[in-house]
Amino acid sequence: MSLFSVKTGVSVLTLICLLLAATEAKNSEDIRCKCICPPYKDIEGQIYNQNVSLKDCNCLHVVDPMPVEGKDVEAYCLRCECKYEERSSGTIKVTIIIYLSVLGLLLLYMVYLTLLEPMLKRRLFGHSQLIQSDDDVGDQQPFANAHDVLSRSRSRTNMLNKVEHAQQRWRRQVQEQRKSVFDRHVVLS
């Protein structure tokens, strides 16, 4: 139990480190200085976008080529608004890919749990047992139930069995939750 939580903690910390590391790895494309210049006399409004550092982020450096003559430059530049922005494309990429893979795994597992497993079970054990195993879950006391499974899973040494029992226990809990949320509407409605 505590080993499991330590593992969770470690994996969580790894995730954080990964994201922070991705934040650090700055791409050269990740800074921009964007100047928006409104219409001036007969010149149309323009947007200038340059990859320059924060101290160079002003109209004189970014607006290139300058659309007005020497004496008008100052007046033109006064109207422009320059904004320095930073982002981290690495973080975005890593985050979206991690998110999509987690979502994909969950979807696969969901399809397995809802469609494939009942089919396999039906083929293996026949129809009657499936109904029975569905029936005996709900009415028992939740804590007596959990203890039973817990003590059984302790006595076995086989790793695979342990995983299976943990999964069984979890599924029983979810079923219990589903009953109280979706069917009986006692919580969260």
Partner 1 sequence: MAEAEVISNATPTEEMNGAGNLMDFLDEPIPDVGTYEDFHTIDWLREKSRDTDRHRKIRNRRKESLWEFVKSLLDAWSGWVVMLLIGLLSGTLAGVIDLAVDWMTDLKEGVCLSAFWYSHEQCCWTSNETTFADRDKCPQWQKWAELMTGHTEGAGAYVLNYFLYVLWALFFSFLAVSLVRVFAPYACGSGIPEIKTILSGFIIRGYLGKWTLLIKTVTLVLAVSSGLSLGKEGPLVHVACCCGNLFCSLFSKYSRNEGKRREVLSAAAAAGVSVAFGAPIGGVLFSLEEVSYYFPLKTLWRSFFAALVAAFTLRSINPFGNNRLVLFYVEYHTPWYMAELVPFILLGVFGGLWGTLFIRGNIAWCRRRKTTRLGKYPVLEVIVVTGITAILAFPNPYTRRSTSELISELFNDCGALESSQLCDYINNPNMSRPEDDIPDRPAGPGVYSALWQLALALIFKIVITIFTFGMKIPSGLFIPSMAVGAIAGRIVGIAVEQMAYHHHDWIIFKNWCRPGADCVTPGLYAMVGAAACLGGVTRMTVSLVVIMFELTGGLEYIVPLMAAAVTSKWVADAFSKEGIYEAHIRLNGYPYLDQDEFTHRTLATDVMRPRRNEPPLSVLTQDSTTVEDVEMLIKETDYNGFPVVVSRESERLIGFVQRRDLTLAIKTARQKQDGVVSNSVVYFTEDAPQLPASNPQPLKLRRILNLSPFTVTDHTPMETVVDIFRKLGLRQCLVTRSGRLLGIITKKDVLRHMAQMMNQDPESIMFN
Binding site for partner 1 (CB under 8 A): 1-2, 5-6, 8-9, 12-13, 15-16, 19-20, 23, 29, 32, 36-39, 44-47, 49, 51, 79, 81, 85-89, 91-93, 95-99, 102-103, 106-107, 110, 113-114, 142-143, 170, 173-174, 177-178, 180-182, 185-189
- Residue 128 or residue 187: which is nearer to partner 1 going by CB? 187
CB of 177 to partner 1, least distance (A): 4
- Residue 86 or residue 135: which is nearer to partner 1 going by CB? 86
CB of 60 to partner 1, least distance (A): 18
- Residue 101 or residue 128: which is nearer to partner 1 going by CB? 101
CB of 178 to partner 1, least distance (A): 5
CB of 144 to partner 1, least distance (A): 10
Answer whether the bond into residue 65 is a cis peptide, omega within 30°.
Answer: yes
